[in-house]
Amino acid sequence: MWRAVSSVLADMGREGSQLVQSRLAEVRDASEKMLLRDSLEYAAKTEYRPILQYPLSEAERNGIRGCR
């Protein structure tokens, strides 16, 4: 669960990354720390593209609920 949450938050930009950072400062479990760091590092890569920047056809966009 934390992998998905931290990845989505990191994908949301500076504010989301700050939330992941604050959780990282609190957590004691080594595996959770690693997950959180991985999410932040992945989102910081120069070739990283947030999900909303992926090119979609109109048909693909219509297939996603709530996507306008």
Give, in order, the Cα–Cα distances in Å from 56 to each of 1, 10, 14.
26, 21, 25
Render pLDDT for 41-50 as a digit per residue (tens, 0 to 9): 988 888 888 8
Domain-wise residue ranges, the chain: 2-62
Closest CA to 40 of 6, 15, 2: 6
Tell me the average pLDDT of the chain: 84
Closest CA to 22 of 4, 10, 8, 30: 10
At 47 the pLDDT is 85
Give percent helix, percent strand, percent coil of the chain, each to the nearest 5.
70, 0, 30
At 1 the pLDDT is 65
Indicate whether this model's pTM tops 0.75: no
Render pLDDT for 9-23 as a digit per residue (tens, 0 to 9): 888 888 989 999 999
Closest CA to 45 of 2, 7, 1, 18: 7
Name the band, by pLDDT with cuts 50, 70 and 90, for residue 29.
very high
